[in-house]
Amino acid sequence: MNKQIFTPEYRVIYKLKNKKSKIEGTGAYALQEIPARKKIGDLGGIIISEREAIKRRKNVKQIAMVDLENNLVLDASVNANELRYINHCCEPNSYIRVTKNRVEFYSLRKIKIGEELSADYGETHHHGTLPCRCGAKNCRGFI
């Protein structure tokens, strides 16, 4: 039985590059200026059931999944794009919008060429226990 439900078409609107992050692991960096309040793109991945996501979460150290509607989950560890590496920051330059079967990223302000993209992950499966490494002046300390 195929556990994957479907793989929608996802796109990144602005040119990005993944490389070592100043925050954590790998990051996503702007290769062009991104104006304020513009859609950056849709997070790539496959849509799976919540049941399948629970199974997969048990076997990985870093989770790249976002809960959607109707007990579905976007698994960005498969068929990912550059947006998969946007790290959490308590003072982000972008935000996440979950709508139906999409996870969209939008710029909060102008993002300069070479700047690392970041978003406030909000509530996560870590329930405020994972130490935050963002380094922002207003860092909450945990994700």
What is the amino acid identity at position 140?
Answer: R
DSSP string, 66-96: EE-STTEEEETTSS--GGGGPEE-SS-SEEE
Q: Tell me the pairing of strands 65-67 and 72-75.
A: antiparallel
Residue 11 belongs to what H/E stretch? Answer: none
CB 44, CB 76: distance < 8 Å: yes
Fold adopted by 4-119: Beta-clip-like (2.170.270)
Q: What is the pLDDT along the chain (143 residues), one digit of tens a residue?
A: 445 665 667 889 999 999 999 999 999 999 999 999 999 999 999 999 999 998 988 877 777 889 998 899 999 988 889 999 999 999 999 999 998 889 999 999 999 999 999 999 876 665 556 788 898 898 988 87
The answer to pTM > 0.85 is: yes
Domain ranges of the chain: 4-119
Q: State the amino acid at position 45 in one-letter form.
A: G
